[in-house]
Amino acid sequence: MISFGDSLIYVTTFFGLFTSIYFLMTLFEARNRLKFGECVDCPSVSVCIPCFNEESTVEKTLRSLCKLDYDPRKLEIIVVDDGSSDKTYLKALNFAKRNKDHNIRVFKKSNGGKHTAVNYALERSHGEFFGVLDADSFVDKHALKRMMKLFEDKNVMAVTPSMLVHNPKNILQRVQYIEYLMGVFLRKVFAQLGSQHVTPGPFSFFRKTFFEKHGNYHEAHLTEDIEMALRIQKYGGVIENALDAFVFTSGLRSFNSLYKQRLRWYYGFIRNLVDYKELFSRKHGNLGVLVLPASFTSVVLVIIFLFYSLFNILKNLVNKLMNLYAVNFDIFQLRWFDFDGFFVNTNSLAVLGFISLALVIIIIVIAKRLSQEKKSISFSYVLFMLTYWILFGFWWLASIFAVFFRRGKVKWGHKSGEL
CA distances from 300 to 16, 156, 271, 279 (A): 13, 33, 17, 20
Closest CA to 247 of 192, 319, 166: 166
Report the chain's mean pLDDT, rounded to a whole number.
90
Q: Which pLDDT belongs to residue 345? A: 60
Confidence of residue 416 (pLDDT cuts 50, 70, 90): very low
Q: Which pLDDT belongs to residue 340? A: 57
Rounded CA separation 210/231 (Å): 10
Give 207-264 pLDDT, tens digit per residue. Answer: 999 999 999 999 999 899 999 999 999 999 999 999 999 999 989 999 999 999 999 9
Domain boundaries, the chain: 1-32+136-336+352-419
CA distances from 62 to 51, 66, 92, 161 (A): 12, 6, 8, 18
Percent of the chain at pLDDT exceeding 90? 73
**Checking phi first, is residue 415 left (phi over 0); if not, alpha (psi -120 to 50) or beta?**
left
Amino acid at 146: R
Confidence of residue 356 (pLDDT cuts 50, 70, 90): confident
Mean pLDDT in residue range 370-386: 89
Q: Which pLDDT belongs to residue 4? A: 81
Q: Which pLDDT belongs to residue 271? A: 95
Q: Which pLDDT belongs to residue 216? A: 96
Strand 411-412 and strand 417-418: the pairing is antiparallel
Mean pLDDT in residue range 266-284: 95
3-class SS at 102? coil
Q: What's the DSSP call for residue 219?
A: -
Q: Which pLDDT belongs to residue 335? A: 61
Beta bridge partners of 131: 47, 205
Give 30-48 pLDDT, tens digit per residue. Answer: 888 787 899 999 999 999 9
| Spacing of C-alpha 219 from chain mean position | 19
Give 107-128 pLDDT, tens digit per residue. Answer: 999 999 999 999 999 999 999 9
| Max CA distance (Å), the chain | 81
